[in-house]
Chains A and B, each alone.
Chain A
Amino acid sequence: GENVEQHPSTLSVQEGDSAVIKCTYSDSASNYFPWYKQELGKRPQLIIDIRSNVGEKKDQRIAVTLNKTAKHFSLHITETQPEDSAVYFCAAPRTGGFKTIFGAGTRLFVKA
């Protein structure tokens, strides 16, 4: 079946450093790529997303890049802060949210 692989599973960085999380998907019909942040005991919250007709999108310290040929997309967080510590999930749904598959998550620790 279709799959989304996310790496690394755990990432520890020093405050102010950058963090990069990568996801690879297998469903060629996926055309929307959101990233969610989930703090302990809370719901997943959308932080940034990208659509298949765009290669890169940036929002302040957060950026997402997409390589449709290679079927992978990445989350980049610059100037990390302790409040960035959380679990981050990628997803790769088809049009209309159909067949949404989430990655297994990356636990990010930002050390002050």
Chain B
Amino acid sequence: EAGVAQSPRYKIIEKRQSVAFWCNPISGHATLYWYQQILGQGPKLLIQFQNNGVVDDSQLPKDRFSAERLKGVDSTLKIQPAKLEDSAVYLCASSSRLAGNTQYFGPGTRLTVL
């Protein structure tokens, strides 16, 4: 089966600019996650969707980050405006209850904020 797809793979922007990332989960996976992974650290959960509803966004900096999954499939994560400390890899993952809730990760988007 096809894996989790993400785009773009790399993005360089200046601080205060906006950026958006896209994720297409594994077909049939109802749960979608966005993680932020800063160099040298473990992934940090930003937001979790169950179908098109948010089940956890407690660690999402809501003053600048937003995410949506309108039709319960693809998702976008937006940062507006970006700060230097947002430089990181943004990983999308998906899981399915039928598959034991194992999270499968996409290749990530490496964001550099200058």
Contact = CB atoms under 8 A, between A and B. Distances in A.
A102 B104 CA distance: 14
Contact of A104 (B42, B56, B91): B42
B102 A89 contact: no
A63 to B, nearest CB: 18
Interface stretch (B11-19, B43-51, B65-73, B79-87): B43-51
Contacts of B108: 43
Contacts of B40: 105
Q: Choose among A45, A96, A103 the residue with the greatest number of B CB atoms under 10 Å from its CB.
A: A96
A89 B91 contact: no
B101 A105 contact: no
Interface residues of A, number: 23
A100 B103 contact: yes
Interface residues on B, range: 20 to 34
Q: Choose among A6, A32, A100, A105 the residue with the greatest number of B CB atoms under 10 Å from its CB.
A: A100
Interface string A83-110: 0000001000101111111111100000
Contacts of A99: 45, 56
B95 A97 contact: yes
B33 A100 contact: yes
Contacts, number: 56
B31 interface: yes
B24 to A, nearest CB: 14
Interface string B96-108: 0100111111111
B91 A44 contact: yes
Contact of A96 (B31, B43, B106): B31
B41 to A, nearest CB: 6
Contact of B55 (A43, A98, A102): A98
Interface of B: 31, 33, 40-45, 48, 50, 55-56, 91, 95, 97, 100-108
Given A43-B108, A46-B102, A105-B42, 12 more contacts: A43-B106, A44-B91, A49-B100, A89-B42, A93-B101, A93-B103, A96-B55, A96-B97, A97-B101, A98-B48, A104-B41, A105-B41
